[in-house]
Amino acid sequence: MKKALSVLVLFLAVLVVNAQTTTTTTNAKQSKVSVKTTELQKSITDNVAKDFPGFTIKEAFSVTKGTDVTYEVVIVKGTVVETLVYDKEGKFLKKLAPPAMPKK
């Protein structure tokens, strides 16, 4: 009887501890909104002109994820297409890798 009671107490203790440890995951929503190229910050357009000569801005997006806002700017020069990312102040962050080509 003592063994059965000990097992029952141990089982209940495990249940209580398991119930107290919960993990929460937040799925921060991301929104991507088109922005007119004429409405981009001057620092972004100046950076494109200075660091990417010959490229023109094709399109731009404001990307909001949680409280973070970034800008994705697509630039083109002939057949070359690049996507650049800037922070909300217009500071260059990175160049995105081109999308992978599907295998045939």
In a domain, 32, yes or no: yes
In a domain, 43, yes or no: yes
How far apart CA 91 and CA 71 sit, in angstroms, is 10
Q: What is the pLDDT of residue 21?
A: 38
pLDDT confidence bin for 30, thresholds 50/70/90: confident
Q: Which domain holds residue 68?
A: 28-96
CATH number at residue 36: 3.10.450.360
pLDDT (tens digit per residue) in 51-67: 999 999 999 999 999 89
- Of 53, 39, 40, nearest to 86 by C-alpha is 40
In a domain, 19, yes or no: no
In a domain, 12, yes or no: no
In a domain, 2, yes or no: no
pTM here is: 0.67
How far apart CA 70 and CA 88 sit, in angstroms, is 5
In a domain, 55, yes or no: yes
Q: What is the pLDDT of residue 23?
A: 40
How far apart CA 75 and CA 45 sit, in angstroms, is 11
Q: How far is CA 57 from CA 16, 54, 60, 74, 75, in A?
A: 59, 10, 8, 6, 4
Q: What total number of domains does the chain contain?
A: 1
Which structure tokens are listed for 3? 């063994």
3-state class (DSSP) for residue 66: coil
pLDDT (tens digit per residue) in 31-87: 999 999 999 999 999 999 999 999 999 999 999 998 999 999 999 999 999 999 999
In a domain, 72, yes or no: yes
In a domain, 77, yes or no: yes
Q: What is the pLDDT of residue 42?
A: 95
Which structure tokens are listed for 52? 């990417």
